[in-house]
């Protein structure tokens, strides 16, 4: 049996040379072989990286891929590094290198010499000397450091293809830009929300536990929005946070005001005070307190009233979570007990204001969330949002005319708006032309139940002449906000003038419907609400009635049915303290007028 | 003897033979390799190509005892190996004395070996393999160096007895002699039909050959080269899954282990002649055809397709990676 030296045993391990001369002669050749090996792996790695980048670029035409150049660079370098690492691991052993060297015309002298390195006999010595001599004479240039030809061609082709792909317009680029804008917008709003949470004076009225709940909610929302690139997801997250915030607000209100209001409601004399407290209206509260003050001064049964009030306040104080308010109520009870009515009333007023402030404290946070959702919708911009919005714009045109007491039967118009103008087809007998102008901004919010709100103002005039049942009439443009939630949402400003014909006044003179919900667009289960946007006299909207319209009652509900909900939401929105009382009164008056 | 002396001696022998044998450079080289390796050679070629002359020249150049046996159908084994004859000794008593046959020479030319009966052919078996002859229960050593060079005519098959596989396997090489080229033919005619004939001189002797054989046996063989040679032999076997498609389709029987021994043995000598102390892949490839062509047996499919053992061996070489 032929004895085996460590050269055979160690397929890849480093050979321990017994004869230094052989090692010395072989080392330069070995190094060059390793270099050649690594260069080939490098070119293979670059090829693999280029193929990956090309595939990624191709994929980017089907799916929006953000930071594709950065991804290409990182993954490309990673691939090259991985292939080089693999090359390092698969480095030729001395045995393999000896065989490579032998193929350069050395006729197995090196591999034989390496095998005989452990032998000292004459033949082995002669063979070793022969191998060393051949190694020294070997032209190292025969170990080419050039990459294989097919690698070179492939590298050139792939590089050209990759460069070429960069010049092809990518339809996904605009989606990526929108995502980036959305993310930036959400980030900004999130910062605002955090700032608000930390700095708002209103939130100082909350108890520590309530503040912690709010902080947790903001933190959770921040985490969810951190990497979102989908405005639908963002809107869902925001809506979810808003729901939680609403629940928290309701709980705080119930804790702060519920007990006190119910106690006061039990007394006939303090029912208006209870109503003002429930409505969280500070001016009403002041008025009611003033009335109570008068009653306590002038009423015949003032002592009995004071006693009842004291009992009511005592019971309310027991269930009050806020220790400060609780203390003030207790002080008011003591004042009543000692006959200091005015002082008691002042203390009551203070405690009630503080309770109202605490219950209203979430208003800013809710407003911030609404702003965030609006921003998300704005950032979503065109695309799906615009597509969804087009139909609402179309409806706006119709509502503008229908709002004109049914006289201005028009349904064609032109306008500019965010989104695309819709066109309906229809026939009608009436003809009319009209122009309307309006300006306004709309903001829309909404939740799963499909509520929304909008505010804005606008005015316009529309002149029309036509024939038909409705005859001629003047129309006034209505500016109103658009809002939606769930899958599609947004707000925008719509300006337009209207002129059109077709729909008969007779049809419009009856029940007026306005598209509020568009459940067919829910998709993911959310709900969409469209509220008419504001109109100005600029721009034109063209539309023809046809297909699904108001007459089919499909996706529409009567305005009156949602009025109460609108009003309630408007009142809730006014909880923000930053809204001046005069503006709050304006809103209330507006809704009162609508309700009449 | 060192490698330089070896190479010089080999070159001398080749040059001397070439003085009388025109062309046939490869054949001369292979015959020399076989002689140094201690193997036997089967020369196959049409008459008149110089087979017998080559052997005779070789004997003269190597200064070896030479005998020629013309194989015929009536040739008996005793005619080859010798026999015991009854004679009288000095005292007048009748005794058997062994009369050595022509096989007792250093270099035996078995001319037209396929014309003898298998019985007579087999008389050579022991001599070729063991370098001994056993007659009447007595085994006698043949002189060293010893080798047999047999010739056969591939055309005249009538009245011949093809060599059995066992007999063929005893030959280290089977060499095919081709017709000389026109230039070589000119040289042959000039050499043999003139008045002055160049005559090869002694270039080595038996001792030299034995020394060269010993040196050749010490030539190292790297494991990859040996592995290559053995894989080459294994790939001649059609029943092995690892064999190339050509083998599985065209070969009936593959080479015996003697084929591998022949490859290695001859490759070592060739390496030394080439001035190397080690065997290379090229040595193995060079030796493959003469060493294996008489050891693989093609099937009818191969014959029908006009394939030869050499073409199959070339395919096997191509399919066997280093």
Partner-chain contact A115 B281, CB within 8 Å = no
Tokens for B102?
């022509």
Per-domain residue ranges of chain B: 3-72+104-210, 219-319
Q: Is B282 on the interface with A (CB under 8 A)?
A: yes
The reply to whether A262 and A390 lie within a common domain is: no
Across A242-256, A433-447, A582-596, least confident range = A433-447
Q: Are A66 and A180 in contact (CB under 8 A)?
A: yes
The reply to whether A452 and A354 lie within a common domain is: no
Shortest distance between the Cα of B173 and any Cα of chain A, in A, equals 24
Nearest Cβ partner of A108 from B2, B3, B279? Answer: B279
Per-residue pLDDT, A537: 56
In a domain, A379, yes or no: no
The reply to whether A162 and A187 lie within a common domain is: no
In a domain, A1, yes or no: no
Per-residue pLDDT, A201: 60
Per-residue pLDDT, B261: 93
Please state, in angstroms and rounded to a whole number, the distance separating the CA atoms of residues A423 and A413.
9
ipTM: 0.83
Q: Is B3 on the interface with A (CB under 8 A)?
A: yes
Compute the average pLDDT of residues A340-360: 76
Higher pLDDT, A383 or A588: A588
Nearest Cβ partner of B280 from A8, A108, A116? Answer: A108
pLDDT at A390 over 50: no
Partner-chain contact A115 B220, CB within 8 Å = yes
Chain B, nearest residue to A126 by Cα: B277
pLDDT at A503 over 80: no
Per-residue pLDDT, A280: 72
Q: Omega before A461 cis (within 30°)?
A: no
Higher pLDDT, A26 or A278: A26
Per-residue pLDDT, B249: 92
Task: State the pLDDT confidence band at A86, using cuts at 50, 70 and 90.
Answer: very high
Gyration radius from chain B CA atoms:
21
Please state, in angstroms and rounded to a whole number, the distance separating the CA atoms of residues A353 and A280.
9
Segment A560-578, tens digit of pLDDT: 667 777 877 787 777 655 6
Closest CA to A366 of A279, A245, A461, A476: A245
Compute the average pLDDT of residues A460-465: 35
pLDDT at A356 over 80: no
The reply to whether A154 and A197 lie within a common domain is: no
Please state, in angstroms and rounded to a whole number, the distance separating the CA atoms of residues B223 and A169.
61
Closest CA to A469 of A521, A409, A529, A556: A409
pLDDT at B286 over 90: yes
Partner-chain contact B220 A8, CB within 8 Å = no
Residue B88, number of CB atoms within 10 A of its CB: 10
Beta-bridged to residue B184, according to DSSP, are: none
Per-residue pLDDT, B61: 92
pLDDT at A550 over 90: no
Shortest distance between the Cα of A33 and any Cα of chain B, in A, equals 19
Shortest distance between the Cα of B61 and any Cα of chain A, in A, equals 28
pLDDT at B165 over 80: yes
Partner-chain contact A108 B219, CB within 8 Å = no
Contacts of B223 in chain A (CB under 8 A): 2, 8, 115
pLDDT at A517 over 80: no
Tokens for A475?
């129309």
pLDDT at B88 over 50: yes
Nearest Cβ partner of B220 from A99, A107, A112? Answer: A112
Chain A, nearest residue to B218 by Cα: A123
Q: Is the dihedral of CA A294, A299, A303, A307 positive or negative?
A: negative
Beta-bridged to residue A144, according to DSSP, are: none
* Mean pLDDT of chain B, nearest integer: 89
Tokens for A387?
């597509």
Contacts of B281 in chain A (CB under 8 A): 107-108
Task: Find the domain containing A65 and state its range.
Answer: 6-167
Partner-chain contact B220 A107, CB within 8 Å = no
The reply to whether A352 and A233 lie within a common domain is: yes
Beta-bridged to residue B70, according to DSSP, are: B111
Compute the average pLDDT of residues B149-173: 84
Please state, in angstroms and rounded to a whole number, the distance separating the CA atoms of residues A65 and A55.
12
Task: State the pLDDT confidence band at A392, using cuts at 50, 70 and 90.
Answer: very low
Helix axes A20-59, A68-89, angle to 10 degrees: 150
Q: Is B223 on the interface with A (CB under 8 A)?
A: yes
The values of phi and psi at residue A496, to 5°, are -175, 165
Per-residue pLDDT, A539: 57
Of A145-149, A351-355, B126-130, B288-292, which has the strongest mean pLDDT? Answer: B288-292
Compute the average pLDDT of residues A260-270: 77
Chain A, nearest residue to B224 by Cα: A111
Compute the average pLDDT of residues B232-240: 93
The reply to whether A129 and A205 lie within a common domain is: no
Partner-chain contact B279 A116, CB within 8 Å = no
Shortest distance between the Cα of B275 and any Cα of chain A, in A, equals 10
The reply to whether A201 and A62 lie within a common domain is: no
Q: Model pTM?
A: 0.58
Per-residue pLDDT, A379: 60
Task: Select from B278, B279, B280 the residue whose CB has the most chain A CBs within 10 Å, as the one to mutate to test that interface.
Answer: B278
Chain B, nearest residue to A128 by Cα: B277
Q: Which of residues 66-105 of A touch B (CB under 8 A)?
A: 99, 102
Indicate if B219-319 has the same CATH topology as B3-72+104-210.
Answer: no
In a domain, A19, yes or no: yes
pLDDT at A417 over 60: no
In a domain, A369, yes or no: no
Q: Is A116 on the interface with B (CB under 8 A)?
A: yes
Please state, in angstroms and rounded to a whole number, the distance separating the CA atoms of residues B267 and B281.
9
Chain B, nearest residue to A127 by Cα: B277
Q: Is A301 on the interface with B (CB under 8 A)?
A: no
Q: Is A10 on the interface with B (CB under 8 A)?
A: no
Beta-bridged to residue A556, according to DSSP, are: A515
Across A56-60, A274-278, B306-310, least confident range = A274-278
Q: Is A108 on the interface with B (CB under 8 A)?
A: yes
Helix axes A302-319, A323-337, angle to 10 degrees: 160
Per-residue pLDDT, A396: 35
H helix intervals, A226-269: 231-253, 259-265
Please state, in angstroms and rounded to a whole number, the distance separating the CA atoms of residues B223 and A2.
9
The reply to whether A445 and A313 lie within a common domain is: no
Tokens for B205?
């002797």
Partner-chain contact A112 B2, CB within 8 Å = no
Shortest distance between the Cα of A3 and any Cα of chain B, in A, equals 11
Nearest Cβ partner of A107 from B2, B223, B280? Answer: B280
Shortest distance between the Cα of B217 and any Cα of chain A, in A, equals 11
Higher pLDDT, A140 or B257: B257
Per-residue pLDDT, A532: 55
Please state, in angstroms and rounded to a whole number, the distance separating the CA atoms of residues A118 and A455.
96
Could you please state the CATH topology (level 3) that the domain comprising B219-319 is classified under: Helicase, Ruva Protein; domain 3 (1.10.8)
Would you list the DSSP string of A65-90?
Answer: -TTHHHHHHHHHHHHHHHHHHHHHHT
Q: Is B284 on the interface with A (CB under 8 A)?
A: no
The reply to whether A575 and A492 lie within a common domain is: yes
Nearest Cβ partner of B3 from A2, A124, A126? Answer: A126
Which residues 6+ apart lie within 8 Å of B223 measured at CB?
A: A2, A8, A115
Compute the average pLDDT of residues B165-182: 88
How many structural domains is chain A composed of?
3
Q: Is the dihedral of CA A203, A206, A212, A213 positive or negative?
A: negative
Q: Is the dihedral of CA B233, B236, B239, B242 positive or negative?
A: positive
In this structure, CATH architecture of domain B3-72+104-210: 3-Layer(aba) Sandwich (3.40)
The reply to whether A336 and A389 lie within a common domain is: no
Per-residue pLDDT, A535: 52
The reply to whether A259 and A118 lie within a common domain is: no
Chain B, nearest residue to A129 by Cα: B277
Closest CA to A172 of A285, A15, A18, A67: A67
Segment A168-184, tens digit of pLDDT: 888 888 888 877 777 77
The reply to whether A337 and A446 lie within a common domain is: no
Chain A, nearest residue to B283 by Cα: A107
pLDDT at B91 over 50: yes
* Mean pLDDT of chain A, nearest integer: 67
In a domain, A286, yes or no: yes
């Amino acid at each position: 049996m032929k004895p085996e030296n460590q050269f055979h045993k160690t397929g890849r391990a480093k050979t321990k040379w017994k004869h230094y001369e052989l090692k010395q002669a072989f080392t330069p050749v070995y190094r060059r072989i390793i270099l050649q090996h690594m260069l080939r792996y490098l070119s293979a790695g670059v090829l693999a990286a280029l193929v990956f980048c090309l595939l990624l670029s191709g994929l980017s035409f089907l799916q929006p891929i953000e930071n594709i150049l950065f991804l290409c660079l990182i993954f490309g370098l990673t691939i090259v590094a991985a292939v080089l690492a693999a090359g390092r691991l698969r480095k030729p052993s001395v045995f393999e290198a000896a065989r490579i060297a032998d193929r350069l015309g050395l006729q197995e002298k090196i591999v034989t010499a390496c095998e005989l390195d452990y032998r000292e006999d004459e033949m082995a010595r002669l063979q070793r000397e022969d191998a060393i001599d051949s190694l020294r004479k070997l032209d190292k240039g025969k170990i080419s450091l050039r990459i294989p030809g097919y690698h070179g061609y492939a590298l050139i082709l792939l590089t050209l293809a990759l460069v070429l792909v960069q010049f092809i317009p990518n339809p996904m680029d605009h989606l990526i830009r929108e995502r980036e804008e959305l993310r930036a917008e959400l980030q900004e709003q999130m910062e605002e929300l955090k700032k608000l949470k930390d700095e708002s004076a209103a939130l100082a009225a909350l108890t520590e536990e309530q503040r912690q709940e709010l902080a947790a909610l903001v933190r959770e929302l921040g985490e969810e929005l951190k990497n979102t690139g989908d405005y639908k997801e963002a809107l869902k997250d925001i809506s979810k946070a808003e729901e939680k915030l609403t629940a928290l607000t309701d709980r705080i209100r119930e804790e702060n005001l519920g007990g006190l209001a119910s106690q006061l409601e039990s007394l006939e004399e303090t029912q208006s005070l209870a109503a003002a407290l429930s409505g969280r209206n500070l001016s009403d509260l002041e008025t009611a307190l003033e009335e109570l003050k008068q009653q306590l001064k002038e009423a015949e049964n003032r002592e009995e009233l004071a006693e009842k009030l004291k009992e009511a306040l005592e019971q309310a104080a027991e269930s009050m979570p806020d220790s400060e308010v609780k203390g003030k109520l207790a002080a008011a009870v003591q004042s009543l007990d000692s006959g200091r009515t005015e002082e008691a009333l002042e203390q009551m007023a203070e405690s009630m204001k503080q309770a109202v402030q605490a219950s209203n404290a979430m208003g800013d946070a809710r407003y911030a969330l609404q702003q965030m959702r609006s921003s998300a919708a704005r950032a979503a911009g065109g695309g799906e949002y615009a597509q969804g919005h087009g139909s609402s714009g179309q409806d706006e045109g119709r509502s503008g005319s229908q709002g004109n007491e049914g006289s201005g039967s028009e349904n064609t118009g032109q306008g500019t708006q965010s989104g695309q103008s819709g066109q309906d087809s229809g026939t009608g007998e009436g003809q009319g032309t009209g122009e309307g102008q309006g300006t306004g901004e709309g903001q829309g919010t909404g939740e799963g139940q499909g509520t929304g709100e909008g505010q804005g103002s606008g005015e316009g005039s529309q002149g029309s002449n036509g024939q038909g049942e409705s005859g001629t009439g003047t129309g006034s443009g209505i500016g109103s906000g658009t809002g939606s939630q769930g899958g599609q949402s947004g707000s925008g400003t719509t300006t337009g003038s209207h002129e059109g014909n077709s729909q008969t006044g007779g049809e419009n003179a009856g029940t007026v419907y306005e598209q509020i919900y568009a459940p067919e667009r829910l998709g993911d289960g959310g709900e969409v609400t469209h509220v008419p946007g504001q109109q100005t006299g600029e721009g034109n909207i063209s539309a023809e009635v046809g297909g699904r319209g108001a007459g089919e009652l499909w996706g529409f509900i009567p305005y009156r049915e949602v009025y109460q909900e609108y009003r309630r939401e408007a009142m809730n929105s006014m909880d923000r303290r930053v809204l001046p009382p005069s503006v709050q009164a304006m809103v209330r008056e507006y809704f009162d007028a609508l309700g009449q | 003897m060192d490698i330089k002396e070896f190479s010089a001696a080999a070159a001398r022998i080749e040059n001397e033979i070439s003085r009388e044998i025109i062309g046939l450079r490869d054949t001369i080289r292979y015959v020399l390799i076989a002689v140094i390796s201690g193997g036997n050679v089967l020369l196959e070629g049409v008459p008149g190509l110089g087979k017998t002359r080559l052997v005779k020249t070789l004997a003269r150049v190597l200064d070896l005892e030479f005998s020629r046996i013309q194989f015929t159908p009536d040739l008996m084994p005793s005619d080859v190996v010798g026999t015991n004859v009854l004679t009288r000794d000095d005292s007048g008593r009748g005794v058997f004395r062994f009369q050595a046959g022509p096989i007792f020479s250093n270099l035996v030319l078995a001319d037209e070996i396929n014309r003898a009966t298998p019985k007579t052919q087999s008389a050579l078996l022991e001599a070729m393999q063991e370098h001994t002859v056993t007659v009447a229960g007595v085994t006698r050593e043949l002189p060293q160096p010893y080798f047999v060079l047999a010739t056969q005519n591939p055309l005249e098959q009538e009245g011949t007895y093809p060599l059995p596989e066992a007999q063929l396997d005893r030959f280290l090489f089977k060499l095919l002699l081709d017709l000389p080229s026109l230039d070589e033919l000119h040289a042959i005619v000039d050499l043999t039909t003139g008045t002055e004939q160049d005559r090869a001189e002694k270039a080595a002797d038996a001792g030299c050959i034995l020394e060269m054989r010993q040196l050749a046996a010490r030539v190292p063989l790297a494991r990859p080269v040996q592995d290559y040679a053995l894989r080459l032999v294994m790939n001649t076997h059609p029943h092995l899954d690892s064999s190339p498609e050509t083998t599985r389709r065209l070969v009936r029987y593959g080479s015996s282990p003697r084929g591998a021994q022949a490859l290695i043995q001859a490759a070592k000598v060739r390496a030394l002649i080439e001035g190397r102390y080690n065997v290379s892949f090229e040595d193995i490839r060079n030796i493959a055809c003469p060493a294996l062509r008489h050891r693989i047996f093609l099937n009818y499919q191969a014959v029908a397709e006009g394939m030869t053992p050499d073409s199959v061996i070339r395919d096997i070489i191509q399919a066997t990676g280093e």
